[in-house]
Copies of this chain bind each other. A is one copy, B any other.
Amino acid sequence: MATIYEVSKAAGVSLATVSRVMNGNAKVSDKTKAKVLAAMSELGYKPNAIAQSLASNRSNSVGLMVSELHGSFFGDMMSTIENTLRTAGKHAIIAAGHSDADKEQQAIEFLLDRRCDALIVHAEAVSDEYLIELAERDVELVLVNRHIPELAERCFYTDNELGGYLATEALLQRGHQNIAYISGPLFKLDAKARLAGHKKALAEYDIAFNPSLTFEGGYHETDGMAGFAHLMQTGLPFSALVCANDEMASGAMTAAREAGLNVPTELSVVGFDDVLFTKYLYPKLTTIDNPIRKMGDAAARWVLKHVYKEKHQPDVENLYPPTLILRDSIATKTKVE
């Protein structure tokens, strides 16, 4: 592997000059530049990224902490981020936090030890305080799918409350009055916000929120099944069900079917996230689009602009409003049940 020294010798110039043509940050005459370029290609020279990092104090790597590595949600996010980063010659180092506060923290420290220039974090378990404190260290931190007011400009998130509102509104518009709700774990902000949106929609339609028609799940498919069973057990009537994510909606639909209910004629179901498998479900799930791809791209661009000082990188939005994706799992409420 040729080094910069060999190139400089071959081109008859100094190390510094070779470095300059590589980085294009200082004027070099066209003539010498051509000589250097020729020498480089002749030797098949490739800069050593590690040495560059050490000398420049830039690793050109950004750490990507996600709570999980599998699942369409994270796949989409990583895919976008990796793509816009690599286009800019930076690379992504990944670490998974497994939705556990300790492990998330470990993953972040691991990335920091790796001297990442910036951190794009999708944390679910770690506290706001920890993240705020982290941002106050010398770390360039960016948060995806999480909104912490103190860190507002570095947060890329969706309006979960609006999403919850839209889900329930779609049902209300179709004449449903008794709407059950399976929430995510309420210690998570997004779960809380989605539930708040649900309540807000009910209030607008002058329908009292009934806590008994609510079940708190853990965002897993099985929680959807358990939730449905629990709701049935209350004996309370409901013609529609909102689930705080698609996995739970899937579980609930399965349970409903096993209980002999037809979806959507006897029970309308709405999910949340518009995860990939959503369109494989039967019936195809009506859900809320969680613009995860846009948020990932925005996070990456923010880093490019603010950390790597890329010009021409436009400003990015921080808030990405969700929308309703209307498919086959909801129906208009029939007069007689």
Known contacts A69-B78, A70-B75, A79-B96: does B115 contact A50 (CB below 8 Å)? yes
Chain B neighbourhood of A49, CB < 8 A: 113-115
Looking across the interface, which residue of chain B has its beta carbon closest to that of A51? B54
- Interface assignment of A76: CB less than 8 Å from any CB of chain B: yes
Total copies of the chain: 2
Taking CB atoms and an 8 Å cut-off, the chain A residues in 109-162 that contact chain B are: 110, 113-115
Q: Which of A15-23, A85-93, A175-183, A193-201 lies at the interface? A: A85-93
Looking across the interface, which residue of chain B has its beta carbon closest to that of A75? B70
Looking across the interface, which residue of chain B has its beta carbon closest to that of A72? B70
Chain B neighbourhood of A70, CB < 8 A: 72, 75-76, 78-79, 276
The 8 Å CB contact of A75, one of B54, B59, B75, B82, is B75
- Interface assignment of A262: CB less than 8 Å from any CB of chain B: no
- Interface assignment of A71: CB less than 8 Å from any CB of chain B: yes
Looking across the interface, which residue of chain B has its beta carbon closest to that of A224? B280
Size band of the A side of the interface? 35 or more
- Interface assignment of A286: CB less than 8 Å from any CB of chain B: no
Chain B neighbourhood of A75, CB < 8 A: 68-72, 74-75
Q: How far is the CB of A259 from chain B (nearest CB, A)?
A: 14
The 8 Å CB contact of A82, one of B46, B96, B279, is B96
Known contacts A68-B79, A69-B82: does B50 contact A54 (CB below 8 Å)? yes
Q: How far is the CA of A93 from the CA of B50 in the complex (A)?
A: 14
Q: How far is the CB of A88 from chain B (nearest CB, A)?
A: 12
Q: How far is the CA of A69 from the CA of B79 in the complex (A)?
A: 5
The 8 Å CB contact of A91, one of B51, B93, B276, B279, is B93
Question: CB distance A93 to B92 under 8 Å?
Answer: yes
Question: CB distance B54 to A221 under 8 Å?
Answer: no
Question: CB distance B95 to A114 under 8 Å?
Answer: no
Looking across the interface, which residue of chain B has its beta carbon closest to that of A112? B46
Chain B neighbourhood of A54, CB < 8 A: 48, 50-51, 54
Q: How far is the CB of A84 from chain B (nearest CB, A)?
A: 12
Q: How far is the CA of A280 from the CA of B47 in the complex (A)?
A: 48
- Interface assignment of A257: CB less than 8 Å from any CB of chain B: yes
Q: How far is the CB of A284 from chain B (nearest CB, A)?
A: 8
- Interface assignment of A254: CB less than 8 Å from any CB of chain B: yes
Chain B neighbourhood of A82, CB < 8 A: 69, 94-96
Q: How far is the CB of A82 from chain B (nearest CB, A)?
A: 6
Q: How far is the CA of A71 from the CA of B114 in the complex (A)?
A: 28
The 8 Å CB contact of A86, one of B86, B95, B276, is B95
Question: CB distance A221 to B280 under 8 Å?
Answer: yes
- Interface assignment of A277: CB less than 8 Å from any CB of chain B: yes
Question: CB distance A115 to B48 under 8 Å?
Answer: yes
Contact indicator per residue, chain A 285-327, by CB within 8 Å of chain B (1) or not (0): 0000000000000000000000000000000000000000000
The 8 Å CB contact of A282, one of B59, B91, B281, is B281
